[in-house]
Amino acid sequence: MPGIILIGAQWGDEGKGKATDLIGTKVDYVARFNGGNNAGHTVVVGNESYALHLLPSGIINPHVTPVIGNGVVVDPEVLFQEIEGLESRGVDCSKLLVSSEAHVIAPYHRTLDKVTERFLGKHKIGTTGRGIGPAYADKINRVGIRIHDLFNAEHLRNKVEASLHQKNQMLVKLYNRREIDIDETVEDLLKYGEKLKPYVANTSLVLNQALDAGKTVLFEGGQATMLDIDHGTYPFVTSSNPTAGGACTGTGVGPTKISRVIGVVKAYTTRVGEGPFPTELFDESGEWLRQQGHEFGVTTGRPRRCGWFDAVVARYATQVNGLTDFVLTKLDVLTGLDSIPVCVAYDVTTTDGQTQRVSEMPVDQSEFTSATPVYEQMPGWKEDISTVHSFDELPQATQNYVHRLEEISGCRISAIGTGPQRDHIIEVHSLTD
Ligand code: GDP
Ligand code: IMO
Ligand code: MG
């Protein structure tokens, strides 16, 4: 009956797509539970590279049933573009199941995302501009549109009217933009309703029945712990719960069905968008990591901000997600360095102006924003590790680096990524047994 949750342990782009693909060979269902097409998950199979935004990465494995859970926000236009793109490359998407309760990203959510970011000016979040925040805001404000609303014209019109009533006033009076046409919006959404029908299901029931029948379900998170609306670096976060708890609310599966919680963590750190990032590098080392690691966004193409591994963040991720395992990715990227700094604590300035050394995540955001990393230096290695398939064959310095990360992050490392390909992986402990 194993339910396995897989989440990002840092600020996203840790390699969740690749880790999902790895575990996907041994599971029956892969369910996305949060976010939408703000995600960009890469799966590389031979010469083919797939960038998944909304669809679960498990869709690349033919025996997997891919599921979009109720906690996801679905842009139907993007969904069909993605399905068509994959099918034209020979990937079968016919088994996809979409929750009838998932909320819809309508074109006006995308408009509002861009307009509000512009309006925020220097306070902007640096969102992906995909309408994620406005769609979740409507969900919480109880004026959202759900997938099953797209099947009934009259019902949908009422909902769109209720949702646009206030937004149109804001667009015209505050943002000096044109009003959004209700009829056009309804017509557009209804068209997608028809196309969506074959995929729509009671996904909570499907997943629970599957788990009860002894099948394995992998819950694939979008975004990451530090982008969580509750546990991340608020307000520089996304609008959903990418942490482990989100897998339950975002699919309608209870926590007693979960047996593993896997955190994907990079051997260094990256972040896209605005917000605090204590180990960020502004010198040539940051540029070196960006080039070595090809750190450019899958969704927006933005260069990712780069920095050293932050064990305070990793420990925090272990704690808030109840992690049982880490998948450590991109270890190969660090090859060639003489020595590798690892952040083990922060020096923070408290509200009364004192400097204090802390080894746990500060609850006060201003302390986190002012945090200066305290580094420990680990010896580097020069050998190519991309062809190594067992832990014991790794250079001693690489083994020591992994062991040290394990020690200071509070959770065992069960797999190690040594390159982007499927077989660029060292499995130290099984992730599914
Ligand atoms: P996700 O959003 O967490 O799925 O991660 P992304 O796909 O946005 O970014 C991770 C990038 O790193 C992708 O280009 C992957 O192909 C690549 N990648 C994943 N694991 C490894 C690894 O172990 N080594 C290297 N060099 N690249 C990796
Ligand atoms: P994956 O799943 C990295 C960031 C955006 C921005 C903030 C809010 O590929 O790891 P949003 O559009 O969600 O309202 O933007 O969150 N962000 C991500 N950063 N990886 C992602 O997804 C992200 N999804 C959102 O850059 O800072
Ligand atoms: Mg990504």
CATH number of the domain encompassing residue 216 = 3.40.440.10
Whether residues 404 and 306 share a domain: the answer is yes
Whether residues 65 and 78 share a domain: the answer is yes
Q: What value does the mean pLDDT take over residues 120-147? A: 96
Alpha-carbon span 115 to 42, nearest angstrom: 29
Whether residues 235 and 365 share a domain: the answer is no
Query: 174 lies in a domain?
Result: yes
Of the ligands numbered here, which is closest to the C-alpha atom of 33? Answer: 2
Whether residues 268 and 304 share a domain: the answer is yes
Select from 41, 42, 288 the residue to mutate for testing ligand 1; criterion: most ligand atoms less than 8 Å from CB: 42
Task: Look at residue 242 and tell me whether its pLDDT is greater than 70.
Answer: yes
Q: Which residues are registered as beta bridge partners of 346? A: 358, 373
Q: Above pLDDT 90, what percent of the chain?
A: 96
Alpha-carbon span 327 to 20, nearest angstrom: 10
Query: 124 lies in a domain?
Result: yes
Over residues 62-81, the pLDDT tens digits come to 999 999 999 999 999 999 99
Whether residues 164 and 206 share a domain: the answer is no
**Cβ neighbours of 324 (radius 10 Å):** 19
Examine the fold and report which residue of 166, 196, 226 is the final residue of a domain before the chain moves on. Answer: 196
Examine the fold and report which residue of 178, 196, 214 is the final residue of a domain before the chain moves on. Answer: 196
Average confidence score pLDDT of the chain: 96
Q: Identify the CA nearest to 19 among candidates 286, 189, 261.
A: 261
pLDDT value at position 65?
98
Query: 218 lies in a domain?
Result: yes
Whether residues 57 and 121 share a domain: the answer is no
Whether residues 147 and 228 share a domain: the answer is no
Residue with the smallest CA separation from ligand 1 atom 2 is 13
Query: 433 lies in a domain?
Result: no
Residue count of the chain: 433
Of the ligands numbered here, which is closest to the C-alpha atom of 128? Answer: 2
3-class DSSP assignment, residue 376: strand
Whether residues 234 and 89 share a domain: the answer is yes
pLDDT top residue among 293 and 433: 293
Query: 226 lies in a domain?
Result: yes
Ligand 1 closest atom vs CA 14: 3
User: What is the CA 180 to chain-centroid distance, rounded?
Assistant: 31
Whether residues 111 and 156 share a domain: the answer is yes
Over residues 155-196, the pLDDT tens digits come to 999 999 999 999 999 999 999 999 999 999 999 999 999 999
Give the domain extent around 124. Answer: 103-196
Task: Look at residue 210 and tell me whether its pLDDT is greater than 90.
Answer: yes
The rounded Å distance from CA 42 to ligand 1 centre is 6
- What tokens appear for 391 in the block? 């832990």
pLDDT value at position 1?
52
Query: 432 lies in a domain?
Result: no
Whether residues 357 and 376 share a domain: the answer is yes
The rounded Å distance from CA 275 to ligand 2 centre is 12
429 CB-contact burial (10 Å; exposed 0-12 / middle 13-18 / buried 19+): exposed
Residue type, 238: T
Task: Look at residue 258 and tell me whether its pLDDT is greater than 60.
Answer: yes
Query: 28 lies in a domain?
Result: yes
The catalytic residue among 28, 41, 53, 231 is 41
Query: 243 lies in a domain?
Result: yes
The rounded Å distance from CA 151 to ligand 2 centre is 30
Select from 50, 72, 227, 269 the residue to mutate for testing ligand 2; criterion: most ligand atoms less than 8 Å from CB: 227
Whether residues 309 and 280 share a domain: the answer is yes
- Give catalytic status of residue 92 as yes or no: no
The rounded Å distance from CA 51 to ligand 3 centre is 9
Q: Which residues contact 285 (CB under 8 A, 6 or more apart)?
A: none
pLDDT value at position 363?
87
Residue with the smallest CA separation from ligand 2 atom 21 is 223
CATH assignment at residue 318: 3.90.170.10
pLDDT band of residue 84 (cuts 50, 70, 90) is very high
The rounded Å distance from CA 73 to ligand 2 centre is 14
pLDDT value at position 75?
98
Whether residues 24 and 45 share a domain: the answer is yes
CATH assignment at residue 188: 1.10.300.10
Residue with the smallest CA separation from ligand 2 atom 26 is 273
Torsion angle, CA of 382/387/393/397, rounded to 10 degrees?
Answer: 20
Ligand 2 closest atom vs CA 14: 10
The rounded Å distance from CA 377 to ligand 2 centre is 30
- Give catalytic status of residue 13 as yes or no: yes
* Window from 96-100, 208-212, 352-356, 411-415 with minimum mean pLDDT: 352-356
Task: Look at residue 275 and tell me whether its pLDDT is greater than 90.
Answer: yes
Q: Do the Cβ atoms of 217 and 31 come closer than 8 Å?
A: yes
Of the ligands numbered here, which is closest to the C-alpha atom of 424? Answer: 1
Binding-site residues, ligand 2, Cβ < 6 A: 8, 12-13, 38-41, 125-128, 130, 132-133, 222-224, 227, 238-239, 272-273
Task: Look at residue 350 and tell me whether its pLDDT is greater than 90.
Answer: no
Examine the fold and report which residue of 242, 263, 284 is the final residue of a domain before the chain moves on. Answer: 263
Give 296's DSSP letter. B
